[in-house]
A = this chain, B = another copy of it.
């Protein structure tokens, strides 16, 4: 099997080369490309994606993979896992005919354009019929791909392999039961003052400060860089070149700072993946949920916590002395953790955030089960926002049309955002147990032991384990919402002097 495996590795690496090249074309499109380059660029990306697909479905490659799958017991763990995961991807794509793939990409393309127009006009009705087709083809996909318990699992599996609706139902029941109660309790306390975060924070100073913060959390600029793009993202072309982007809003200090730390957390994960497994599943992240756990851990558990600002209050005041006159670490910490319901997911605080996800999860599941239809989905959306967040949606642009995911026909993705926060809380609780004096170190400006712990426990394994296996290896149990609640209770007790 040695030769077969080597052949498999060589092909996978070539496929990765092509996909990473397509990734660079896309990164460049967001960051550098002059406007006239757009049309040809899309064509170039499509050509590369097509070539990567052809390589992955090449007859010789597939036969070799099947041979390896049949003989996988002869392989050791990382090798065996690679074969299993590649074979699984292969099986999934085999179940989708070329006709289906072409039809899907046509529906997605139409859907995206309809969504753009509908959002512009703030009118869900302009998106409705396209969305109907998108939902129908997703349902079709569920049946083609197959599932054990619930069609939703067939879709989620692409983002969070092995995720079960039964588990998510328990998690989101906890969110509903415990978090709604908790946010209602918070609302009875005096609101914190975050007015100084809305002063003018000059572009260039924010940029310089962001780079400084990225360095402080351990992001390696020898193997990455930061640029400006309309929507912050992290991308990589192998773990030796992992790039982040951010945006600057001069009237909103948090917009850039937490995007830097959030994307920085994603990037630290990518920079820690084993380069020896380049192009192979075990060289990639486990899942979107685990990826998000890394960004959220740095953004929230570290970056929105008091110790981090005890360490960095002088730095931030060096950059923004006037705006932050008289603001100490504690006042700063409270301001950046203000809790209040908002209509827009990406502007939400750490707690209300999960109601945004809960609503999308309920709607997506309902669409697949047939309990909801697209017909009046904006009304259902608005009612849920009233019920869970107590806010009135004034128009569809700030309601059902706010996120791009459904416009691309992407269903089953949203839950990974909440999973990320919950995994983050559980991992961080374990890190505090494993690293003596962790928060004292962070308060002294040293998060290197935390990074080393993440490298050792999460990053270096790449995709060797499932999310569940990884969580059990690290914390001794599966994902448990109690860690998030306990983290939240402790934090907001301080923030609101509860």
**A residues bordering B, Cβ < 8 Å?**
13-14, 17-18, 20-22, 24-25, 28, 32-37, 39-41, 43-44, 47-48, 51, 220-225, 237-238, 240-241, 243, 275, 278
Q: How many copies does the complex hold?
A: 2
Cα of A237 to Cα of B275 in the assembled complex, Å: 29
A223–B32 alpha-carbon span in the complex (Å):
11
Residues in B whose Cβ lies below 8 Å from that of A240: 36-37, 39-40
A442 CB, min distance to chain B CBs, angstroms = 26
Contact residues in B for A224 (Cβ distance below 8 Å): 34
New A-B pairs, 17, CB < 8 Å, besides A21-B47, A34-B221: A24-B24, A24-B28, A28-B28, A32-B32, A33-B241, A34-B222, A34-B243, A35-B222, A36-B223, A37-B238, A37-B241, A39-B240, A40-B237, A40-B240, A40-B278, A41-B237, A51-B51
Q: Are A37 and B221 in contact (CB under 8 A)?
A: no
Which B residues are in CB contact (< 8 Å) with A37?
A: 223, 237-238, 240-241
| 23 A-B contacts (beta carbon < 8 Å) | A17-B43, A17-B44, A17-B48, A18-B48, A20-B44, A21-B21, A21-B24, A24-B28, A32-B225, A34-B223, A34-B224, A34-B225, A34-B243, A36-B223, A36-B240, A37-B223, A37-B238, A37-B240, A40-B237, A40-B240, A40-B241, A40-B275, A51-B51
Minimal beta-carbon separation of A369 from chain B (angstroms)? 42
Q: Which residue of B lies closest to A50 (CB)?
A: B14
Across the A-B interface, the 3 shortest Cβ-Cβ residue pairs: A37-B241, A17-B47, A36-B223
Query: Which residues on the B side are within 8 Å of A223 (C-beta)?
Result: 34-37
Contacts of A221 in B (CB 8 A): 34
> Is there contact, CB below 8 Å, between A18 and B40?
no
Specify which chain B residues have a CB less than 8 angstroms from the CB of A220 in the assembled complex: 36
With the chains together, A250 CA to B278 CA distance in Å? 42
Cα of A275 to Cα of B44 in the assembled complex, Å: 14
CA distance A197 to B377 in the complex (A): 69
Residues of B within 8 A of A43 (CB): 13, 17
Contact yes or no, A21 B20, CB < 8 A: no
User: How far is A36 from B238 in the complex, measured between Cα atoms in Å?
Assistant: 10
Instruction: Give Cα distance in the complex from A48 to B16, angstroms.
Output: 11
Q: How far is the CA of A39 from the CA of B241 in the complex (A)?
A: 10
Cα distance A241–B34 in the bound complex, in angstroms: 7
- Say which residue of B14, B22, B238 sits within 8 Å of A21 (CB atoms): B22
C-alpha spacing A21/B21, complex, angstroms: 7
Q: Could you tell me if A47 and B24 are in contact, using CB atoms closer than 8 angstroms?
A: no
Closest CB in chain B relative to A219 CB, distance in Å: 11
A14: B residues at CB distance < 8 A: 47
> Which residue of chain B has its CB nearest to the CB of A21?
B21
Report A459 CB to chain B, min CB distance, Å. 16
Known A-B contacts A37-B238, A240-B37, A240-B39; A44 and B21 likewise in contact (beta carbons under 8 Å)? yes
List residues of chain B with CB within 8 A of the CB of A22.
21
Give the complex CA separation of A34 and B43 in angstroms: 27
A41 to B237, CA, bound (A): 8
Query: In the assembled complex, which residues on chain B have CB atoms less than 8 Å from the CB atom of A225?
Result: 32, 34
